[in-house]
Amino acid sequence: MTRAELLADDPLWLILIKVVIVLLIGPILTIFLIIWERKAIGRMQQRPGPNRVGPGGYLQSIADAIKLPFKEQIIPAGADRKVYFLAPVIVVIPAIMAFSVMPFGPQVSIFGEQTVLQLVDLPVGVLLVLACSSVGVYGIVLAGWSSGSPYPLLGGLRSAAQVISYEIAMGLSIVSVVLYAQSLSTGDIVQAQASGWYFYLLIPSFLIYLVSMVGETNRAPFDLPEAESELVGGFHTEYSSMKFALFFLAEYVNMVIVCAFATTLFLGGYMAPWPISLINDNYFNTGWWPILWFFGKTFFLLFCFIWVRATLPRYRYDQFMRIGWKVLVPANLVWIVLIAGLRTLRGESEVSTGQILTYGGIVLLVVVALGFVFDRGTRGVEDDDQVPITGGGYPVPPLDLEIPEPTKRKAVRGRRSARRRPATVGTGTGARPDAGKESDDGDL
């Protein structure tokens, strides 16, 4: 029986168990990821990190999860209350729904019932994940707009532009995977990698996807929608209490989603890594072992998220958009053409896959290098409309400000007030009010 047929025969009680597990994966991993991230970044930056709550500080995330719902909820007076309440829900629900099409393992037996470790295997499961990530940004835009404040609005607009830019690159990087697997089903894509994982067969697509998933989730160094140095807190500046916790939850759930999706598309999904896959006649690719491999690969990619945040500074907005539109998208288009040509040549000639991938990779690197060269050449062009930093124009004030000398009238007024104000010596109760009094012509 196929995966779809096995899932179609699941009884109601088994479906409910899977639904509950899918709903709990996101919040549980969020609690774990928060403390893991704070500990890992603390170690990288040579500081202890959280170490007060619980043994070694490992209960800090649970304390935060209990504290946030009881915090005071402050709603801006100018906020659109209905949209303001709805926006965090729109962000969280699509993120959790994307887990439903992730294949966590092969066929297993649960209480005597044969099933697959997946909630549903749709023929267009890849498109469902992309759709969920697209709908999530709608909640971010609504949160920025409904807050009635300029900083959240700017953060929402930035997030919309960011997701549009990097979701195009992400979608194009998946096209080559679909061309190789000949399917949009996540389960079929994993099974198609039995002869070779796509992360080395399609390494340009894999690298572009890794960069795109950081931009898609608004994580450092691409956290421009919530840049605290520019926008205070971005789209969630006016949110507090449980609503802020929902945004926090959605960010980490989206991290898990894109990493699990990368594992499914490029890292063989739940298949055991080499050389473990060669042991005992493929024993570790059956039963419950594949869950360990799936989450091991996912946690490795999540650690890369943490590593990048602790290492790289935040990009400027123009640099960030330049990477998306001038590097990732053109390189993706060239690579898709090469993959389509590869599929055609493999059926009509004797050219090996390795030769075509080698030559195609060289062409792709040349295109990317030319893009950087031409982009560097345009940076030296001067713009007559630019405002110099010290010119005193909008929006930057002059940096060479000097305190003006007081006018004669203010100086005379200051001397008069000094004459009327008694001077005291000492700090005790016996200080004389006229001690240290200077003449009327003394200096101030």
Q: Number of helices and strands (H, E) in the chain? A: 16, 2
Mean pLDDT of all residues in 52-57:
89
Token pair 């001038």 is at which residue? 326
pLDDT exceeds cutoff 90 at 260: yes
> Are 337 and 234 in a shared domain?
no
State which of 12-26, 136-150, 425-439 shows the largest mean pLDDT: 12-26
> Are 325 and 251 in a shared domain?
no
> Are 371 and 236 in a shared domain?
no
- The answer as to whether 237 is a domain residue is yes
In Å, the largest CA–CA distance within the chain is 107
> Are 31 and 148 in a shared domain?
yes
> Are 152 and 211 in a shared domain?
yes
SS3 108: strand
Where a domain ends, among 315, 345, 361?
A: 315
Report whether 323 contacts 211 (CB < 8 A).
Answer: yes
Which comes out higher in pLDDT, residue 94 or 429? 94
The secondary structure of residue 327, as a DSSP letter, is: I
- Using a 10 angstrom Cβ sphere, with 0-12 exposed, 13-18 middle and 19 or more buried, the burial of residue 16 is exposed
- The answer as to whether 374 is a domain residue is yes
pLDDT digits (tens, 9 = 90+) for 413-442: 656 665 655 554 444 444 444 444 444 444
- Alpha-carbon distance of 216 to 208, in angstroms, equals 12
Least confident residue range of 215-224, 287-296, 369-378, 385-394: 385-394
> Are 354 and 250 in a shared domain?
no
User: What confidence score (pLDDT) does residue 152 get?
Assistant: 85
> Are 104 and 191 in a shared domain?
yes
Domain total in the chain: 2
Q: Rg (Cα) of the chain, in Å, rounded?
A: 30
Q: Is the pTM of this model over 0.85?
A: no
Q: Which two tokens stand for residue 117?
A: 């470790």
Report whether 40 contacts 309 (CB < 8 A).
Answer: no
- The answer as to whether 199 is a domain residue is yes
Mean pLDDT of all residues in 252-280:
88
> Are 369 and 234 in a shared domain?
no
- The answer as to whether 432 is a domain residue is no
Report whether 170 contacts 216 (CB < 8 A).
Answer: yes
Q: Which two tokens stand for residue 223?
A: 């956290």
- The answer as to whether 383 is a domain residue is no
Name residue 234's amino acid: G
Residue 98: domain span? 3-315
pLDDT bucket at 237, cuts 50 / 70 / 90 = confident
Report whether 256 contacts 26 (CB < 8 A).
Answer: yes
> Are 340 and 195 in a shared domain?
no
- The answer as to whether 411 is a domain residue is no
Mean pLDDT of all residues in 156-182:
87
Report whether 161 contacts 322 (CB < 8 A).
Answer: no
Q: Which two tokens stand for residue 125?
A: 């499961």
Report whether 235 contacts 144 (CB < 8 A).
Answer: yes
Where a domain ends, among 378, 403, 419?
A: 378
Backbone angles phi, psi at 32, to 5 degrees: -70, -40
- Alpha-carbon distance of 106 to 289, in angstroms, equals 9
pLDDT bucket at 30, cuts 50 / 70 / 90 = very high
Where a domain ends, among 274, 299, 315?
A: 315
Mean pLDDT of all residues in 6-22:
91
> Are 283 and 348 in a shared domain?
no
> Are 206 and 344 in a shared domain?
no
| 94 Cβ neighbours under 8 A, 6+ residues apart | 131, 132, 133, 135, 136
- The answer as to whether 419 is a domain residue is no
The secondary structure of residue 80, as a DSSP letter, is: -
pLDDT exceeds cutoff 60 at 394: no
Angle at 384 between CA 381 and CA 385, to 5 degrees: 115
- The answer as to whether 25 is a domain residue is yes
CB atoms within 10 A of CB 44: 14
> Are 159 and 220 in a shared domain?
yes
| 134 Cβ neighbours under 8 A, 6+ residues apart | 163, 167
